[in-house]
Amino acid sequence: MLMLKAYAKINLGLKILSKDEVDGYHLVDMVTLPIELHDRIEIEVLPDNFDTIITCDDRSLPTDESNIVYKTLKVLNEKHPINKKLRIHIHKIIPVCAGLGGGSADAAAVLIGLNKLLKLKMSQEELCELGSKVGSDVPLCILNKPARVSSKGEKVEVIKTKKTHKVLLVKPSIGLSTREVYLKYDEEKEESLVNIDGVVEGLIKGDNQMVFDNMGNDLEKPAFSIAYETKNIKDLLKKNGFDNVLMTGSGSCVYAIIPKDKKTENIENKLKKMGYTVFVTKTLI
């Protein structure tokens, strides 16, 4: 049996540039950081008289053909026919529909794991190429590095960062559909104030203030109009002394960069009593 970690990510910046009217996808420019929060993936080769199965300890996550891991297996099988029966178990910790990239992380871990387990000898570049056929964020999760991601998500440029950050993650009970949030954005779109160049420069220099001054997410406002509870979380964090608070991805999770030496136990307990899912984690470099 092979066990792997599938790491979540947060967005320090998400800027929408335009929309491809042919396929409906939005062109974006964004900065993502992997974080320690992760799912655990177990891959086991079964005897030939078994069928390949996917299991998960989170009952809200379907394990039928709609699960991204099935799509991953299909894409991999087209390039490297899999002659083994497998059991793939997802120990789900990353909240779903949160903007944390959990599904993409699971898909990336499965590709990496099967490449090792089945001795397919694919390079990282080949893995990323396959991953892009599964989902736009999968190559990013395969690399698992701070990165600038552009176009429709297929262009990934690794950023050499100098600092890590402790992060408080808060997710309301409601999840958000990426498609629904983008549709709302198209209805209400406004001029972006997000400066991705500034975020990247700040990360490279290790200048936290430059990062904080330029970070932002163009999807916050449309997401807040769909799920007002998400805005409430952001407002509550700011009232409790967190200056750098942002929704990640298309939501509904909101995170706060934890200032050095700031205690979080009280706000964690308060948020949990309000019914929110709360994690304290840190970014990876």
Question: What's the pTM value of the predicted model, to 2 decimals?
Answer: 0.95
Q: Is the peptide bond before 173 cis (omega within 30 degrees of 0)?
A: no
CB burial string 38-54: b at 16+ within 10 A, e below: bbbbebeeeeeeeeeeb
Averaged pLDDT for residues 25-35: 95
**106-125 per-position pLDDT tens digit:** 999 999 999 999 999 999 99
The confidence score (pLDDT) of residue 25 equals 85
**Structure confidence at residue 249 as a pLDDT band (50, 70, 90):** very high
> Looking at the predicted structure, is the pLDDT value of residue 100 above 90?
yes
Continuous segment of H or E residues that includes residue 13: strand 2-19
Mean pLDDT of all residues in 157-186: 95
Positions marked catalytic: 9, 137
On whether the CB atoms of residues 118 and 80 are closer than 8 A, the answer is yes
Q: Residue length, the chain?
A: 285
CA dist 62 and 53 (Å) reads 12
